Amino acid sequence: MFITKKYLSRRTLLRGMGVSISLPFLESMVPAQTALRKTAASPKSRLTCIYVPHGAIMDKWTPATEGTGFAFTEILKPLEPFRNYLNVVSDLAHPQAGGVDSDAGADHQRSAAVFLSGAHPEKGVEAHVGKTMDQVVAEKMGQDTPLPSLELSIEDVSLSCGAGLACAYMNTLAWKTATTPLPMENNPQVVFERLFGDGRNNAERNSRREQSSSILDSVKDEVTALNKKLPAADRTRLTEYLDDVREIERRIQKAGTAVPTDVTVPDAPVGIPDSFSDHLKLMFDLQVLAYKAEITRVSTLMYARDTSTVVYPDSGVRSGFHSTSHHSDVRENMERFAQINRYHASMLAYLLEKMKATPDGDGSLLDHSLVLYGSAMSDGNKHNHDPLPVLLAGGASGQLKGGRHLRYSKHTTMSNLLLAMVNKLGVPMENFGDSTGKLEI
């Protein structure tokens, strides 16, 4: 049993000039006469939902065998080190992304909105779809954190939508209500300040940015005072956490000064890296930091918008994302798109490794998280929504066993999986979206 001499509140903040920094879990936060192992045995779960548009080359995604011991496919190979945390979920569909009024544009336009809602986005100027699964969970386990949920993207919002559908369907995954989309933020600088700025003094935050000073500089006196009260293990953990904060801040500042001063270019948002890989890694690191400090326990992230023309040089493919998905069933073209799919999976591996390496209670952040990754489209060339490329990662605090390829009846609605996930995260529900029953996962 570990007994603290002085109990440090879980809500202790380090306050400085225009900032308030939450602390990671420390042994000193365990009340006196409380067993640390008992506290650590009841960790808080986290939920991450990641959306990738345009589907995948399904014969290079889907494992050949069901159950345990399956061979990782070409696309999923970068995730093999996380086998014990991984479940590939096959034969799911999102019928609400299509419909009788569907066309090529609408199939893309609806996909992101359906991914976590399982509801049919209605046509018209006013957006109407359905409350998303992440927000159902946020209402349950996000009310005692500073942010109930965090919504992130890599691309900026699109104002060109078409198909008679509201732009909101394409620009976010998260809907608080059927008519309330939550905006997604793609600027790491803004996300960083949302996590650590207290929002009460914009002038001080702007002044600090202009002086290129770290937020940690403004709380160093509080850190020094706090360290005097902490045992050695807590001092080490606090130092590691603050080092992570400083490193992310350094990368954001570097991204904001990457453009040479002798070149005339249009104004650009501060803190957005030029490279997709660097940008996504920074967003993943911010997610992990937010989870580590329990600023939030729920997060959504979009790799890209549907019909995105972005090019991924690090994938080895030089053609645009959307255009490459239109492979015309030509094998050479399909190979190129599968190469992009594999690259995207390798970026997910970065997040999983980061979560696995982050201590959390009696395990790791990955042990106590549920990560959903996938698309609401199957074949980007055909614009269909069945079968979908979907996987789950993480242990969900002991609620989910890994290392499996799970197959279900063909055309099973993905809402059945969303319903199962909600229940695994402690929100009892009988129905969600267009569910027909809860999947046994």
Sketch out the chain's domains with CATH numbers.
1-42+197-271 (no CATH), 47-186+276-441 (3.40.720.10)
The whole-model pTM stands at 0.83
Taking residue 282's Cβ as centre, other Cβ atoms within 10 Å add up to 23
pLDDT score of 186: 95
DSSP letter string over 115-149?
HTT-SPPPPSSS------HHHHHHHHHSTTSSSS-
Taking residue 359's Cβ as centre, other Cβ atoms within 10 Å add up to 15
Q: Under the phi-then-psi rule, with left for phi > 0, alpha for psi from -120 to 50, and beta for the rest, what region is 2?
A: beta
- Express the helix, strand and coil content of the chain in percent, nearest 5 each: 40, 15, 45
Whether the CB-CB separation of 50 and 370 falls below 8 Å is answered with no
204 burial level (CB within 10 Å; 0-12, 13-18, 19+):
middle
Question: What counts of helices (H) and strands (E) characterise the chain?
Answer: 12, 13
pLDDT score of 260: 38
DSSP E strand boundaries for 165-216: 175-177, 180-181
If we measure between CA atoms, which residue out of 327, 351, 352 comes closest to residue 339? Answer: 327
Whether the CB-CB separation of 368 and 361 falls below 8 Å is answered with yes
How would you label 44-63 residue by residue, b for 16+ Cβ within 10 Å and e otherwise?
A: bbbbbbbbbbbbbbbebbbb
Residue owning tokens 């290129």? 212
Whether the CB-CB separation of 28 and 4 falls below 8 Å is answered with yes
pLDDT score of 326: 97
Calculate helix-pair angle for 415-424, 133-141, nearest 10 degrees.
10
Please give the structure tokens belonging to residue 366.
């990955």
∠ Cα 256 262 265 (to 5°): 60
Listed as ranges, residues in the chain with pLDDT below 50 are 1-5, 32-33, 35-41, 199-201, 208, 211-212, 258-269
pLDDT score of 319: 97
Residue type at 163 in one-letter notation: A
CA distance 262 to 80: 45
Phi, psi for residue 126 in degrees, rounded to 5:
-85, 125
CA distance 97 to 105: 11
